[in-house]
Amino acid sequence: MNLDVHLSPADLAAALRADVAAGMSASPRWLPPKWFYDERGGQLFDDITRLPEYYPARAETEILTGRAAEVAAVTGATHLVELGSGTSTKTRILLDALPVRRFTPFDVDEAMLSAAGPALEAAYPGIEVQGVVGDFQHHLGVLPGGDGDRLVAFLGSTIGNLEPPERAKLLADLASSLHRDEWLLLGTDLVKDEATLVAAYDDAQGVTADFNRNVLRVVNRQLQADFDVDAFGHRAVWVPEDEWIEMRLVAGGAQQVRIAALDLNLSFAPGEEVRTEISSKFRREGVEAELAAVDMELLRWWTDAEGRFALSLSRRA
């Protein structure tokens, strides 16, 4: 497997420093969800996808399994690009269906891409695998080009973790990176009842709570901080005016924290919250409007049998 690296460990370290400095100095405080994902965080999220409360992974897999042949028939794409590819587990459903000659997994984690690539090459010996290490908010312009034959898959409703202005910029950058008549397959979690949504982010076993706290472990290790990780609780909140879920860490008591790498001293009051993630939920008309704003034409809209999750297929106009 060829691997193009556009994001070095030094770049990641600088980004973490900048994010923590900004988020911990804000009021209310926040941390971006991308810092959940060290080795432990990745395993915890994998565990989350198998929890009974966490429907998105199962619902999206159901749609992919039922519609991959239609994706192939409509697009005829021979070059598949996956943003935030991880281990590319669900993507194999597309690789099995599409007439793919090239696959470009794109992720911030060089180690994960290095491990996943050879396994994909072994499973699909006729496909050229070219990994790209980068951040989809900054490096879409380095995606390998095509001759109008690319399908970009952005699955898991990861796009919902971005604030609306960030989401609009990402879609604009993505659309501008596509040639006319190239395709986007986008996963979006849908608006539904509050109880189902909150349960998906606050499971009975506490796996999501441990995942949420993992961002503090990352900060402790990478920035020489001394957060008492176990002294923070986990809270998932539905925000109806924004139609998103927020994950928050809640200080169980007063706590003084030193982040040595930033020369930053923090005081947390009992009950003080740190927002660690938003997860926007979508409606078809909203998705269609956001795509149209960047000259992407929505041509197919598929949901799982219970209408919980959607995959949309759009074409660059």
Decide if 82 contacts 155 (C-beta within 8 A). yes
Question: pLDDT value at position 109?
Answer: 87
Query: Who contacts 120 (Cβ-Cβ below 8 Å, separation ≥6)?
Result: 1, 88, 95, 103, 105, 127, 129
Calculate the alpha carbon distances from 285 to 15, 152, 180, 196, 312 in Å.
34, 21, 23, 22, 12
Please provide the average confidence, as pLDDT, over all residues in the chain.
Answer: 95
Tens-place pLDDT, residues 30-54: 999 999 998 899 899 999 999 999 9
Calculate the alpha carbon distances from 201 to 52, 90, 160, 194, 230 in Å.
11, 21, 14, 11, 18
Mean pLDDT over residues 298-305, rounded?
Answer: 98
pTM exceeds cut of 0.85: yes
Residue 148, pLDDT above cutoff 80: no
Tens-place pLDDT, residues 254-267: 999 999 999 999 99
Mean pLDDT over residues 76-85, rounded?
Answer: 94
Decide if 161 contacts 281 (C-beta within 8 A). no
Residue 142, pLDDT above cutoff 90: no
- Minimum mean pLDDT among 63-72, 102-111, 233-242: which range? 102-111
| Residues making up the chain, counted from first to last | 317
Question: pLDDT value at position 88?
Answer: 85
Tens-place pLDDT, residues 193-216: 999 999 999 999 999 999 999 999
The percentage of the chain sitting over the pLDDT mark of 90, rounded to a whole number, equals 86
| Residue that has been written with the tokens 């991959």 in this structure | 68
Amino acid occupying residue 29: R
CA atoms within 13 A on the CB side of 298: 18
